[in-house]
Amino acid sequence: MANSLFLFSLFLFMAVSLAAGTQFRVGGTGTWAIPDSNAMSYNQWAEKNRFQVGDSISFMYLPDKDSVLLVDADAYNSCNTSSHIDEFNDGNTVFTFARSGAFHFISGIKDNCDKNEKLVVVVMVDRSNSSSLAPAAPPTSSSSSPPPPPSEGATGEPTPTPNAASSKVVGVISTFGAILGALSYVF
């Protein structure tokens, strides 16, 4: 029993790690500065990536030399640093996308923003909607063979609850099953 409890904890840990989302480094490197004229712009980088709700982006810069402003589209277009939705100046900013839609980031230094130290990230609609892997389950009331009730530790097999990350978790479960099988030889 203690063994399966351990495995269940491990499973939970893995599921939570997946749900936490991807952390992107701004521009691919994480450096927040005036882009090199030959290098890819921050927006060119952003267009190559898929951002989803729960993902985050990190910005690294010298805290006394630069900052990150979250602004609206107007302030973004005009590099207006006097009005902002949020301001970060700790030098190592990690911003998590809590909703879908557009996020506009500019440097807190207007001159840097004018030199293209700015970025729009478009976050796609919620994971649960974008995953077309799992077809909609039929209503349980009309099901002729309802699933067996959860056995209170009779088998020791945890019954994962479906959630937003279920399509990803399925992959983990199969991997997990292999680990479980391997471990049952040991114990």
Site residues, ligand NAG (CB under 6 A): 78, 80, 82-83, 100, 125-126, 129
Q: Give CA separation, 31 vs 2, 50, 70, 121, 161, in Å.
A: 46, 19, 17, 16, 39
Measured from the CB atom, is 72 or 90 closer to ligand NAG? Answer: 72
Measured from the CB atom, is 76 or 176 closer to ligand NAG? Answer: 76
Smallest separation, CB 175 to ligand NAG (Å): 28
- Compute the distance between CA of residue 71 and CA of residue 85 in angstroms, rounded to an integer: 5
Q: Which residues share a beta bridge with 51?
A: 123
Q: Which of 45, 1, 5, 3 is nearest to 24 (CA)?
A: 45
- Compute the distance between CA of residue 4 and CA of residue 180 in angstroms, rounded to an integer: 9
Smallest separation, CB 80 to ligand NAG (Å): 4
Smallest separation, CB 155 to ligand NAG (Å): 35
Distance between start and end Cα atoms, the chain: 11
Measured from the CB atom, is 17 or 78 closer to ligand NAG? Answer: 78
Measured from the CB atom, is 79 or 180 closer to ligand NAG? Answer: 79
